[in-house]
Amino acid sequence: MARFCSRNGYWQYSLLKSIIPQGSRQDFEFYAAKTKHLVELFCQHNKIGKIFIEPHLQSRLGLTDPKVRFHGCHAVRHDDHIHIQLK
**Does some domain include residue 35?**
yes
| Average predicted confidence (pLDDT) for the chain | 80
**Does some domain include residue 6?**
yes
Domain count, the chain: 1
Question: Is 47 in contact with 85 (CB distance < 8 Å)?
Answer: no
**Does some domain include residue 10?**
yes
**Does some domain include residue 24?**
no
pLDDT of residue 29: 84
**Does some domain include residue 61?**
yes
At residue 6's C-alpha, the angle toward residues 54 and 42, to 5°, is: 15
**Does some domain include residue 42?**
yes
Q: Look up the domain containing 53 and give its range.
A: 2-19+29-86
pTM over 0.85: no
**Does some domain include residue 76?**
yes
Question: Is 45 in contact with 54 (CB distance < 8 Å)?
Answer: no
**Does some domain include residue 81?**
yes
Give the chain's residues under pLDDT 50. 1-2
Neighbours of 78 (CB within 10 A): 19
pLDDT of residue 56: 85
